[in-house]
Amino acid sequence: KSSLRNVVLRDYIYNWRS
């Protein structure tokens, strides 16, 4: 299950882009 990793990556990129 790589669902959590995908969510973490998305959150990380979102915060980084901010």
Distances (CA, A) of 9 to 1, 3, 17, 18: 14, 10, 12, 14
Predicted TM-score (pTM) of this structure: 0.14
* Confidence at residue 3, expressed as pLDDT on a 0 to 100 scale: 84
6's tokens: 């995908």
For residue range 1-18, list pLDDT tens digits in order.
678 888 999 999 999 987
Angle at the Cα of 5 from the Cα atoms of 14 and 12, rounded to 5 degrees = 20
C-alpha Rg value of the chain to the nearest Å: 8
* Confidence at residue 1, expressed as pLDDT on a 0 to 100 scale: 62
d(CA 8, CA 15): 10
d(CA 14, CA 17): 5
